[in-house]
Structure 1
Amino acid sequence: MLKIGEFSKLTQISIRMLRYYDETGLLKPAAIDPQTGYRLYSSDQLTRLNQILTLRDCGFTISEISAMMGSQSLLPALIEAKQKEIRQIIAAEQIKLKRLESLKQRQNQGHFADPVQIVIKAVPACHVLSLRRVIPDYYAEGALWQAMAAFVQTERLTAVGQAFSIFHDEAYQEKNVDVELCLPVKQSGKNQGDFRFRDVEGRAAMASTFVCGPFSEIAGAYRAFVCWLEENGTHLDGPDRQIVHRGPWNETDPRQYLTEIQIPVRKEAEVPLG
């Protein structure tokens, strides 16, 4: 039996961590000296300690390690989940690296913001199947699109144009986003629950730009409209729209997503006073 200090020195694990593992139940001492109260460890515990250290170095939390040590059957699923989590972190960090490289290049050229090409175009009116709900945040549209797809299949509707989203909130919402999904359809049908058939008005002047890349890039494009509106003497004139031309359903690489932002505008002279 080794005292905690001896075990600490030989295993290169601090006394503080050994005590923590004891408190959490991950690695209890083999015995407690009844005279001194010292924690005592044995060589038989090295295997369990190595398992703990291996899982810790793989990024698992203490609670996750406790669950895995308590039930080996959980190990494959938790390993797979951790792999997915780390891949997502790596992908996010790679995006940051690319942004930093782009920022460095723009700074060397005397520019800071990415050039965003914004054009004015007319958007015709259309008859759509509409699904409008309040969702937790801007990234929670997926479930609504699945519901829309199921409804279209059940009702045997025929789409005649590109689906789009209308965002009805007057200001940016961190949560509880009022969004309406619209799918242009050939024929109308009976309204059912949140599913409605309605006409979406056309717009003579819609400021439009495209964003290539993951959805996290969209915010930067919106910010570009600030300068553009001021330079062109225009104002917002209604809820903005988004069209995802390439997304999770037809593109596996988020870097290749293609989103179109449409913002209805009108000239300052056309804005009513008061």
Structure 2
Amino acid sequence: MLNIGEFARLTGVSVRMLRHYDQLGLLTPAEVDPFTGYRRYTSAQLARANQLIALKDLGFSLAEVKECLDRGLGSGEFAALLHRRREGLVAQITDDQRRLAAVDEHLRRIHLEETMPTPTYLETDLPALQLTQLSTEVPEADDLDPTMSRLFSELNEIIAATGLPRFGPGVAHYTQRGDSAMLVAAAEQLGDAPAPAGTERFDLPAVPRALTVRYESADLAGIKHAWQSLVTEAEARGHQLSGPCREVYLTTPFDGPGATGWVIDLQQPIR
């Protein structure tokens, strides 16, 4: 027989944890002295202790460990259990990688906010624009960026196939519908040319008053913050937001050889 200290040394489990496992019914001593309360184990219990430690190290809960040990799972059942555990770990790793990427993105945005020059806001009017566009309704805000990327990609593939020239920079415009849904459009300026199949013509009306700010960056990581600062500035000046807001893409990384970064006019109609 092995006293609890000897058993702890052989298994690498603390005496405190052995007592805890006893209370949970995971690893009950072979004998408990009725007078002293000393616990004693047999060498045959080392195998159960080793299985317990292995399952716990694999990330199974103590309840799952107890079920496995009490049922005496065969190799096939144990393998199925391990496969389920593996799937759970893969999902957890995927979630952790997503969270890590989100943390990195937030840190990058904070750095951008700290290093960006003080924005210059301009109150001005906005011209009417003849647009050829693709549009759709976006029900949730987190769908906005991938939707706009897809629309511009599809639109520019259509225009490239027609060979039509552009007469101005690309434009995105956004119209709020109700509390959450938003009508979004990716547009190019093709003059009076008929809209290619699959696209639509749209006349964006002139706006007598708008507050604008220019966004310049190597990427789009800070554009949401730029929009937030623009809206905050509009409210600080006592304005109300009015009508569809616009993004006018003066420079993009897709403008040809040597093109780098973004220069975008953010335009918010006000009253």
TM range (shorter): 0.5 to 0.7
> CA shift at 1:95, angstroms?
4.1
2: CA distance, partners of 1:146 / 1:120: 31
Structure-2 separation of matches of 1:150 and 1:13: 62
* Aligned match for 2:202, one of 195, 198, 220: 198
Q: Which protein has the larger Cα radius of gyration, Structure 1 or Structure 2?
A: 2
- In 2 relative to 1, CA 121–75 (structure 1 residues): closer, same or farther, beyond 3 Å? same
User: Partner amino acid for 1:210?
Assistant: R
Q: TM-score, normalized by length of structure 2?
A: 0.55
Deviation readout 1:21-46 (Å, 9 max, x if unpaired): x9xxxxx95x789xxxxxx9512332
Q: Secondary structure at the match of 2:53?
A: helix
Distance 1:170 1:79, change over 3 A: closer
Which digits, 9 at most, give the CA deviation of each residue in 1:122-174, with x for residues without a partner? 54333212233220234423224413422442452444322222222278x4x
1:169 aligned residue? 176
Which ranges in structure 1 are unaligned for 5 or more consecutive residues?
23-27, 34-39, 54-65, 103-113, 251-255, 267-274
After TM superposition, list the pairs within 5 Å mapping 1:23-42 onto structure 2.
29=26, 41-42=48-49
SS at match of 2:57: helix
Give runs of aligned pairs for residues 207-218 of structure 1, distance below 5 A: 207-211=211-215, 213-217=221-225, 218=227
Give the Cα separation in 2 of the matches to 1:13 and 1:96: 45
- Indicate how the Cα distance of structure 1 residues 49 and 96 shifts in structure 2: closer, same or farther if over 3 A, else same: farther
The RMSD of aligned alpha carbons is: 4.9
Q: 1:154 to 1:261 in 2, by over 3 A?
A: closer
1:143 to 143, 147, 150: 147
Matched, 1:188 2:194: yes
Q: Is the 8 A contact 2:245 2:267 kept in 1?
A: yes
SS of equivalent residue, structure 1 residue 168: strand
Q: What is the total number of aligned residue pairs between the two structures?
A: 215
The one of 75, 93, 96 equivalent to 1:79 is: 93
2:128 maps to: 125
Query: Is 2:57 the partner of 1:50?
Result: yes
Partner SS, residue 52 of structure 1: coil
How big is each residue's C-alpha offset from its partner over 1:213-236, in whole Å with a ceiling of 9 and x where there is no partner?
A: 5244122321111123x3xxx665
How far apart are the structure 2 equivalents of 1:148 and 1:203? 24
Q: Return the letter of the residue paired with 1:82.
A: D
Contact kept? 1:211, 1:221, Cα under 8 Å? no
Q: 3-state SS of the aligned residue for 1:238?
A: coil
Q: Spell out, residue by residue over 1:52-90, the C-alpha distance to the aligned partner (whole angstroms, 9 max, x if none).
A: 29xxxxxxxxxxxx9975264786676355324313224
Cα distance between partner residues in 2 of 1:117 and 1:52: 54
Q: 1:189 to 1:94 in 2, by over 3 A?
A: closer
Preserved contact between residue 158 and residue 196 of structure 2 (Cα < 8 Å)? no
Deviation (angstroms), 1:15: 9.1
